[in-house]
Structure formats: structure tokens, C-alpha cells
Amino acid sequence: MANLDVLLPHGRGPKRVDGVDFVLALASGPNAWTTPDSASTPMVRAGLVSGLASGVATASVLTALILVRHEGQAILPQVGLVSVAIAAVFTMSSSSLAAMRRQQNRGGRRSVLALRVLALVVFSTIWIGTVPPLLSPLIWLFGVLGGVEAALTASLIGHDPRFGQLFGHFLLSPVHLGVVCGGLAMSLLGGDWAVDRMVITAIGSLEVAAVSSIVTFEMFRRLLSREGEDRTAIQRIVRAAESQRRAHWIHDDVCADIRELRVKMAAMHLDHEQVSQELDQLDDRLRERQLDEMVDGGAIAAAEILQSSVRRAQSAGVVISRVPRFEEASILLEAEAARLLRRCTSGFVANALNAGATVLGFELAHTETEVVVTVSDNAGGFDLRSAPAGRGLASLVGELGPGRLISERVDGGTAMTAHIRLGGSS
Amino acid sequence: MTRLLLLDDAAVVNDLFASLLRTELQVDVIPMASVGELELVVELGERFDIAIVDLSFPEEQRTGMEALLAIHASSPSTVLAVITQGDSFVAQLLRDVWELLPIATVISMAAPIAFQVDQVRQLVMTGSAPIDPSVQPLLPAERAESRSLAAFRHLVLHVGHAKLWEALLGAPEDVSYRDVVEATGLRLNTVKNYRAQLLPELLNHRLDDPSLREMRAFAARCKPIFVNLIGEMRQRSRARVPE
């Protein structure tokens, strides 16, 4: 990597993600740190569900208390609670955050931060004003939500604080010291039960929520870390198996084919032209296998599948009159649609070559639900109904479905069109 | 006599193809197998009428884009062409090169040899040739107007952006925000904000809300362009910092 010393301001060395980063990241919520290719593991999903469940449980407790204390008459706290719920759902929603990330992101995340702070302030006010001191430990449910969010955020940004570290930070934090000192001052100066009640509720709730958050954080962090270790171990096993499979593939397909060619050359005294043909065939076979591997590997671009048929036609000396461009051929296909496209194009090309085509054209179009591929040739007419049952094109008709394979007469030749349904293509 | 550069890391095949072209087309073919060697030769003032360049140089850990940029910078009149396997490993790099440089044609190594020779013949005679049909589906019908070498400047507007791209260039494939923070010395939030600032411009390069991993792959493909821009930014930064 190039030297960073000049770009780094005032020679400051590389840093790690620290506590300030963590607090800022937590304020934006864990969803702000996911990227489009972030993997959602079972543990992460479990965390999100438990976070949501604890949020709902806290809201239910608070609603019940409001209804009991005010006999259903207190509109203000209820409206406040609903607003908090809306703000919480909005700021936790991946889709709204993803939308903000696309547009003006800094402003978007500031809005999220403002909403989260507002929700927290409204929630705290309602809690302190409604909940009796003896019930304030119920806030532990809310603490679970905080702990889960903190663990997910820390995991996403690569911060790894320990239990003791977090506890120390909390005890010495301005928020904690401010609430405790402010509460004590209010209690000493106020001297009436209403003030004392608020102070006890505020301090008690803060302590319980913090301890509950930190304990949840530590438990969840350990679970996430263990899940990460398990995943690494599985990846290692899969990689080893894949390497062995490739070694076997090279031995069976590549080395065996080359040996066959060498034996043929020695035994049959092949001339230059014959060796060249054999090598072309070997090249074709290896490219077909390469395509098999790519189809098995998941999503594959239609262009890659077409390439194989175009090359085959080129090798046969056919002139290619038309091919689709990136805009049409860049569609990614899942394995099933990819296999069908491959079968169609290779079948159409094979038929056209057998019929003596000298010019071939390839077209491709796609909608949300299907890919339409057409291969046209100049090899005279071809009637689909004449295809022998149970073979090639006839079995393709069965796989594509009725009316989805069409042959048409075009100038001096045939245009074969297949409509391939899309399942999970993008 | 037309001077034709043939740059491909498969030296034996390259030499054979060069001798075939000499025989078939009566041109002066200069085969080369390394981007580093080419850069040295170009620096010494060597010029070519046509340059046919492979895209993949895994042993050197470099790409054909670096060679094409060096040739184009030193001699804008040289006709540039790409010769490639045209598979998925180079498809994106091929699109980048196609859109950013005046590439006259793309030759597929998998095409019949006679077809390849014919493409080169057309290049020599007219300065352009049809793209190999098996490679054409990998290329857009029109070059995007928003993509150009000059437009890359919008991706490195200040030192912070330069640090972000430099960190991505040196990061592992599964790059994370932590890697970038560690490499740049920037705050996590700052890194996030820099990435967010670049999103509208990245859209012009066909990257819609890319992950850090996709940004890293893009930076690696267009490394020579980013290295130049980072270097310029470094010089400006050095000029501002007092001794």
C-alpha cells in the first residue's frame, strides 16, 4: 500500500475504532452500518427479533401503566408513546435508512439521530412521569433493546469493548454523573415527595437500564463472536473440500483429455490439421465445463452463456450477424433459468449448424418475468413439429412449457425463439 | 512500416502470434510480456502505431489498463485495442477500459486464429475493426458520456477522499469500515460521510449504492487512475503543510 504519511494529518498514526466512534455509531443505529452485501446471520436476526420484542414489551408495560394510573384519560402520554413508537420503527427500519443512504446521506443520518434522541427524551419523560418508583426496575426490558443494538453496532463497525470497560465508561460518563448529581440536588433542594419520586424513578431506571444493557451487550457479543468462529471453521472446511474437488476436476477432465490427445497423436499419427481440430474440441469442452462451474456457482450473466454458443458458431466458420449488447445481456440468471438459456442457445446453434447455416444472429430481451432468446439462421426453413419426440428440441418444449418455444420462417432461414421464465433472477 | 505492439503475459503464445502477424500482415510487431517493461520503454520515448494489449497480468499484479493509460498518455494517436479471454473475471475491467479510453476494437483470444488475424488486418488498414461477437455482449451499446478519465476527479475532491481510496486500494477483499479507519486514521463517522458524498458520482460509474467491497474492487480495477489522483492530492497537501 502506498505511503500514507503525507495524507495523514500532522503525522497521526493509524487508529482503531474507539469509544467516541462507537457512541456516534450507536446513535445512528446498527442498520446505518450495514452495506448491501452485509450477511444477515441467524444470530443477527435473533438479535433484531429480541430487540424488537423487548421494545414492544416496554411499550406495553408503559401503556398499561398509563391506562391504570389515568383510567384511560391521559391523552398526552398516550400520544407521546405512539410518537415514540413511530420514531423508533422508522429509525430502526433498514429500508428507510437505505433510502437515505442513496440520497443525501449526511442529512439523512442527522435526521435519524435527531429522531432517536427525540424519541428517547419523550420516552424518558413519560416513563419518569408515569411509573411509580417501585416499578422502575421494569426498565430492564428497554435495557435489553439498547444492549442488542450496541452489540450489533459494535460487531458491524469492528469495535470490541469488554464488560468492565463498558461499565467503567458508564460509571464515569457525563450522563450518569449528571443524572445522579442533578437528582440529588433536586431532592435536597425540593424536599417534597413528588420531586423525590421523580428522582428515584430517574436514577433507578437509569441504573437498571444501564446494567441490563451492558449485561445483554456482553452476552450477545460473546454469542456473535462464537458464531463468527463457527463460521470461520465451516469456511475452512468448505475451502478445503473445494480445493480437493478442483484438483480432482483438473486431473479427470484436463489431464485425462490432454493424455488422450497425446496418445491419439502417437498412435494415429495425426497431422497438423487434425491436431488443431482436436485442440479446438478440447478448448470447447473445457469452456463448457467452465460454464457448468459458473452456473453451479449461483447467479450468472446471460452474456456468459451466450458467449459459449457464439464461440462455437465462430469456430465452425459461421458469420455472426448480430449479438445482444451489455444492456440486454447483463441480466443475472439463477441456476435454473441459466441452464435453460444454455440448453436453448446450444440446441438452436447445433440445429442451425447441422442444417448448414453460414450466418447466425443472436437476440436477447428480458422483462421482470422472462428472458426471450432468439437465434436466427440462413439454413432454410425448419418446422418445430418435425422435431423427433423425446429428443433435443422436443424435450425443450416440455421444459419451457406450452407455447414458449416458437419457430418462425425468416428470409431464407428460421428464427427460433424461447421464452424462459424467471424465478429469482435480477 | 506500421509498428504494432503486442502485450500479453503469455510470452510464448505472444511471440508465436507476433511472428504469425509479421508473416500475414508484413508489419513490424514488437511482442512484450510485462506492463513494467512497457512503461520503461514508453518512458524512453518508444512509440507505436497500434497497441494490442491483454487485460490480465496476475503475476505482476497489474492490469492492461495501466499499460493502455501509459501508451495513451505518451502517444494519444496510437490506435488502442484489447485482446482478452473475455470471461467474467475481466468483464468489468473490459467495460471500464472500453468506456474510459478510445479502444478501437476488442479481440477474443478464444476466436479462431484466422478471425483474430483478420481483425488485426482491419486495424492496420483502417484504424478500427468490429468487436469480436463473443465479447460484444459484455460491452454497452454506447459509451456512457458521464464516464471519462476527467470525471474521476469528482471522486477525489479533497485529501479525505484520497485517503479513503488509498485505504481501499490497500485493503483486503472483504474490507470493513474498521480496516478503512485503521488505514486512514479518520473517524468512523467521517469515513461514512466521505463514502456518502461519493455515492452520486459513483452512480455515473454504474455503481448504485456500492458496498465498501464493491468500491474496493472498483478502485483496484481503476488503480492507475486513482494512484495518479491520490498523488496529485498528496502534492497539493504537501505544498500546503509548512516544512
Q: Taking residues A397-424, report their average pLDDT.
A: 86
C-beta atoms of A37 and B169 within 8 A: no
Point out the residue among A13, A287, A328 whose CB comes nearest to the CB of B185.
A13
SS3 of chain A: CCCCCCCCHHHCCCCCCCHHHHHHHHHHCHHHHCCCCCCCCHHHHHHHHHHHHHHHHHHHHHHHHHHHHHCCCCHHHHHHHHHHHHHHHHHHCHHHHHHHHHCCHHHHHHHHHHHHHHHHHHHHHHHHHHCCHHHHHHHHHHHHHHHHHHHHHHHHHCCCCCHHHHHHHHHCCHHHHHHHHHHHHHHHHHCCHHHHHHHHHHHHHHHHHHHHHHHHHHHHHHHHHHHHHHHHHHHHHHHHHHHHHHHHHHHHHHHHHHHHHHHHHHHHCCCHHHHHHHHHHHHHHHHHHHHHHHHHCCCEEHHHHHHHHHHHHHHCCCEEEECCCHHHHCCEECHHHHHHHHHHHHHHHHHHHHCCCCEEEEEEEECCCEEEEEEEECCCCCCHHHCCCCCHHHHHHHHHCCCCEEEEEECCEEEEEEEEECCCCC
pTM score of the predicted model: 0.72
Distance from CA of B190 to the nearest CA of A (A): 10
pLDDT of A318 reads 92
Confidence of residue A109 (pLDDT cuts 50, 70, 90): low
Confidence of residue A15 (pLDDT cuts 50, 70, 90): low
Q: Taking residues A311-336, report their average pLDDT.
A: 90
Tell me which range, A25-39, A94-108, A138-152, A192-206, is most confidently predicted by mean pLDDT: A138-152
pLDDT of A98 reads 52
Confidence of residue A38 (pLDDT cuts 50, 70, 90): low
Q: Please tell me the least confidently modeled range out of A2-11, A319-328, B82-91.
A: A2-11
Tell me which range, A8-17, A123-132, A325-334, B115-124, is most confidently predicted by mean pLDDT: B115-124
pLDDT of B51 reads 97
pLDDT of A6 reads 40
Q: Using an 8 Å Cβ cutoff, are B4 and B100 in contact?
A: no
Q: Taking residues A230-255, report their average pLDDT.
A: 82
Radius of gyration of chain B (CA): 19
Q: Taking residues A244-249, report their average pLDDT.
A: 80
Chain B partners of A307 at a C-beta cutoff of 8 Å? 86-87, 134-135, 137
C-beta atoms of A325 and B137 within 8 A: yes
pLDDT of A363 reads 95
In the predicted structure, residue A141 carries a pLDDT above the cut 80: yes
C-beta atoms of B181 and A21 within 8 A: yes
Q: What is the pLDDT of residues A284-309, one digit of tens each?
A: 788 778 788 888 777 788 998 998 89
C-beta atoms of A36 and B112 within 8 A: no
Confidence of residue A107 (pLDDT cuts 50, 70, 90): low
Confidence of residue A1 (pLDDT cuts 50, 70, 90): very low
Cβ-Cβ contacts under 8 Å for A71 (sequence gap 6 or more): none
DSSP state of B111: S
